[in-house]
A = this chain, B = another copy of it.
Amino acid sequence: MATIHWQEIVAQKRKEQAASIPKDWILPNLPSKDTLNVIDFPEKCGLLTAKEIEITNTEVDVILKKLANGIWSSVEVTTAFSKRAIIAHQLVNCLTEIFIDRALARAAELDKHLKTTGKVVGPLHGLPISLKDQVNIKGIDSTMGYVTWASKPAAENAVLANILEACGAVLYVKTNVPQTLMWGETFNHIFGRTTNPYNRSLTPGGSSGGEGALIALKGSPIGVGSDLGGSVRIPAAFNGLYGLRGSYGRVPYAGCVNSLEGQDSIPSVLGPLTNSIGAIKAFLKSVLSQKPWLHDPLVVRKPWNEDEYKLADHGNGTQLCFAIMWDDGHTVPHPPVRRGLEATKQALLAAGHRVIDWTPLAHAEAFQVAGTIFGAGAREDFRVTTAPSGEPIITTMDLSVDTPGVSPLPPDAEPFFSPPPDGLSAYELWQAQRRKRDYRQAYLDHWNATVEVTGTGRPVDAIISPCAAFTARPHGSSKNPGYTVVWNVLDYASLVIPTGLSVDPVLDVPKPAHDFLTGPDKVNYEIYAPADFKYAPIAIQVTGRTLEEEAVIAMGEIVDAALKNNLKTCN
């Protein structure tokens, strides 16, 4: 039997992807490769009608109302987002699987249903939703960037795909990821590299980088990403979006493909990325309305709790006490990240809330524990998955690997994730998991102790922190996800909110050197040159306790409104 070389599989898969793009939507007038910021291009390129621009620029809450009232048809809305998604793809290479015909057929059925019965199918009736490549859809590949998995269409829908369809959503595209998923950037041998629409010399983040880039360009109203160490939140932050990492088992994961299968100590979770906070709420509330615990055994039996959303556990939200973590004790964030936190503080104080400083507790321990747990069997997992195709395991996100072929890890590299070659024993893994448990206990006690300093009679209501020590970075340089992975280790509900600000070389000048907290802190300080980060959005994280998604969304709405109000006042 002749073996097909992995590059031939890639070529075939790319040909199939090209063929799945509607011919009429292929643009002759793409901006040159040197054009960094392409965020406004979709509206200027001439492919979208005025109505399609209106639809794709509308917030999800409003789209859903117009769909439910029959003012906009699902075919119209699906067509608009599909076109804009294809434009986005030509700009930043964000898609993997494209199945617009199927989506339009489904949209037409939904329109017919509404017309015939006068009723919506569910709370997301007619809304297109994009999915990270991991989420299985029957008959469609989930390569997850692995050549091995090419041309192996899924036998069944993932539970979440079924639930979204039961809610009335229209599935139409899947989005790009890095090979192994264990990177904060987005590149693999099959689909290549996704870039950041605000500045294409920057990464959109990862591993849900395809979603991040697509939604920033408004090629999707809501996308589903996954987050093991920041993979929803990093691309949300890098692309100026809202993104929710819910607690373990709040959103059904069953039936998705994944990396590190069987690692269930710090599980990956699925979560939405969107352009409005209302869409985060609509997504979670809709998913929970379908009782996902009846379909995925790992989902927590906890319906949407309206009392918690009304902040019953937080004094009904009248005066909250937020704590801002200016740095994590390991790496001081770049000036624009600091500016985002300052703007948030000012906005919250103006809105009448209390703001105190958050003292980070041993975040290096969280990062080490996560690396040990994820790394315990990772190399073997990667080997087993790549062996059948012979594709190389990617060891750097440098631009040098843009054409297939893999550079060795440069000697001075600080890799995003570097698991031990021989893995760990199960007993050693247990010891790391024990450390994790002890860390969670210590952090809980630490949080509870803030009741003494908030002045509200309650401990801190939510923590506001950077999403990373940097905004979107040049390709190949995305490092330590310490600011996100800590909440995965602790299983805290965490929501990324864009501040409405972006990197401005005039405002965000380098600061004088500080006493460096660590070696990586020094490196992070030294690489900051404002011009390299131009246009990158600035975001923050709002973090609550485990299984407190409803309250975190409500507090996120308060933060979001305060930021918007303040921006208005300042302008």
Give me the interface of A with B, judged by CB distance under 8 Å: 254, 260-265, 293-298, 300-302, 376-377, 380-381, 423-434, 437, 440-441, 443-444, 448, 490-491, 545-548
Contacts and interface: CB of A to CB of B under 8 A. Distances in A.
B377 A444 contact: no
Given A297-B491, A443-B297, A262 B429 contact: yes
A380 to B, nearest CB: 4
A443 B437 CA distance: 29
A548 B431 CA distance: 31
- Oligomeric state, in copies: 2
Which of A262, A424, A545, A547 is the most central at the interface, judged by chain B CB atoms within 10 Å of its CB? A262
Given A254-B441, A376-B426, 13 more contacts: A261-B434, A262-B431, A293-B546, A294-B444, A295-B444, A296-B441, A297-B441, A300-B302, A302-B547, A376-B427, A381-B430, A423-B427, A426-B428
A491 B293 CA distance: 12
Contact of A437 (B262, B440, B548): B262
A296 B437 CA distance: 10
Given A295-B444, A426-B428, A263 B301 contact: no
B301 A437 contact: no
A377 B427 contact: yes
A87 to B, nearest CB: 39
Contacts of A545: 293, 301
Contact of A377 (B297, B377, B430): B430
A336 to B, nearest CB: 33
B301 A546 contact: yes
29 contacts: A261-B434, A262-B432, A262-B434, A264-B433, A265-B265, A294-B448, A295-B444, A295-B448, A297-B491, A298-B440, A300-B300, A300-B302, A301-B545, A301-B547, A301-B548, A376-B426, A376-B427, A377-B425, A377-B427, A377-B429, A380-B427, A381-B430, A423-B425, A424-B425, A425-B426, A426-B426, A426-B428, A426-B429, A429-B429
Which of A296, A430, A432 is the most central at the interface, judged by chain B CB atoms within 10 Å of its CB? A430
Nearest to A308: B301
A220 to B, nearest CB: 28
A262 B377 contact: no
Nearest to A377: B427
A443 B545 CA distance: 31
Given A302-B301, A377-B425, A430 B261 contact: yes
A260 B429 CA distance: 11
A443 B376 CA distance: 29
A34 B51 CA distance: 92
A377 B425 CA distance: 8
Nearest to A459: B294
Contacts of A426: 376-377, 423-426, 428-429
Contacts of A448: 294-295
A300 to B, nearest CB: 6
Nearest to A247: B301
A550 to B, nearest CB: 10
A143 to B, nearest CB: 20
A381 to B, nearest CB: 7
The 3 A-B residue pairs whose C-beta atoms are closest, nearest first, are A262-B430, A377-B427, A376-B426
A437 B547 contact: no
A136 B39 CA distance: 59
A306 to B, nearest CB: 14
Contacts of A434: 261-262
Which of A427, A428, A546 is the most central at the interface, judged by chain B CB atoms within 10 Å of its CB? A427
A263 B428 contact: no
Contacts of A432: 262
B427 A300 contact: no
A490 B427 CA distance: 23
A254 B491 CA distance: 16
A25 to B, nearest CB: 39
Nearest to A442: B297
A300 B249 CA distance: 11
Contacts of A262: 429-434, 437
Nearest to A297: B440
A297 B448 CA distance: 11
A138 B376 CA distance: 35
A422 B545 CA distance: 39
A107 to B, nearest CB: 29
A427 B381 contact: yes
Which of A381, A429, A444 is the most central at the interface, judged by chain B CB atoms within 10 Å of its CB? A429
Contacts of A428: 377, 426
A295 B442 CA distance: 10
Contacts of A437: 262, 264, 297-298
Contacts of A294: 444, 448
A430 B376 CA distance: 9
Which of A254, A263, A297, A437 is the most central at the interface, judged by chain B CB atoms within 10 Å of its CB? A297
Contacts of A260: 430
A225 to B, nearest CB: 21
A432 B547 CA distance: 27
